[in-house]
Amino acid sequence: MNNIEAFGYRGNTNILNELMLELNSKKIPLSLNLKDGISYNFRFVFEFVEEKLMYSNELLGKPIFGKELIIENKTTSKLGLNSLDDLIKFKTEDNLEVGTYYVGINIYEEIPIHSFGVLETIPIPKNIATVHIHFSKKKEFNYDKGFAVQKYFDGYSHLGFLIVDLPKMKNIIEAEYGDKQLDLVYEFSNTEIIEKLFQEEIIALIWGINPFTYPLYSTNNVEALKPLLGEKFKDEGVFNLKEDIEFFSIIPGYDLKNWHSILKKDYPKIKIYGKGKTVHLSPYALIDSDKSITTTSFLLHRSKEILKEAKPLLNIDLLYDKTVIG
């Protein structure tokens, strides 16, 4: 597998014009000219390519910039990325060996499907820009088509989101309540209906989070995706979800206040990869040079662990509390 390292930064596109690759003491200006004045949650990704690129354009976002460099590296070098003001200061764990390298530098933009209400008032960026820098001794190569991953990027309120088999949920809700209009925020908090949904192995949820924008990933190769996401939080949600259900609907928690409106909407679906009915909903954070959280993502996958009862992810600070990582 390719060596991949990533780190975060939150700020303006102006920083891209000040970036330099460092090979030991040698500095190479990158001149990544984008329109000034746009703020992003930046994700900087270094990939050392052996045979194939690990991450496709579809995974990283919409391409908005690209350039190529050729570097003659005459001695084994420590590789880094710095800005002129040292706000970005990163050294890779891997050295760059002697040789000629083709360096691809591409920038991708990701915009959440929804941005609403309280998200409009939060004074930090909601969109993600990924700066992907890859090094290869070959000029031409393909993507690893054996690496399967699905991604969904959206904005959520403090009520988070659900991963659920909606037709089965409808049957259970109507068996319990009939065809009634319901506020499921109230019902989940004050009745046993959420426990019944857990017992039927059709639902996973995260609730009580920072209103923000979060990418959600599901993959057949967890180890390959982890470097893109950063450091794992100490806590995760763990659920039993039936193995014979392959795709689950993603429902934002703010829709729970109106059960009948949920039934009228066509929600996006995500495939949960892996074997076993135990499903992990794990948050990961990219951090910057000051060890502050910049981007939080969720990784969804199955395992064959034995789980007696669901452990939902509740009331967790995903943006500011660094003590919950690692």
Residues 94-118: tens digit of each pLDDT? 888 999 999 999 999 999 998 766 6
Distance, C-alpha 14 to centroid of its chain: 24
Strand-pair partners of 26: 23
Q: How far is the C-alpha of 255 from the C-alpha of 250, rounded, in Å?
A: 11
pTM value is 0.94
Q: How far is the C-alpha of 273 from the C-alpha of 264, rounded, in Å?
A: 27
Encode pLDDT of 4-31 as tens digits. Answer: 999 999 999 988 888 999 998 889 998 8
Q: How far is the C-alpha of 197 from the C-alpha of 89, rounded, in Å?
A: 47
Q: What is the mean pLDDT of the chain?
A: 92
Q: Mean pLDDT across the stretch 265-288?
A: 96
Encode pLDDT of 123-177 as tens digits. Answer: 889 999 999 999 999 887 777 888 899 999 999 999 999 999 999 999 999 999 9
Q: Mean pLDDT across the stretch 237-266?
A: 96
Strand, helix or coil for residue 17: helix
* 13 and 38 Cβ atoms separated by less than 8 Å: yes
Residue 88: predicted pLDDT: 92
Whats the size of the chain, residue-wise?
A: 326
Strand, helix or coil for residue 236: coil
The values of phi and psi at residue 29, to 5°, are -60, 140
Encode pLDDT of 48-95 as tens digits. Answer: 998 888 998 889 999 999 999 999 998 998 899 999 888 899 999 888
User: Can you say whether residue 91 is alpha, beta or left, with left for phi > 0 and alpha for psi between -120 and 50 degrees?
Assistant: beta
Residue type, 290: D
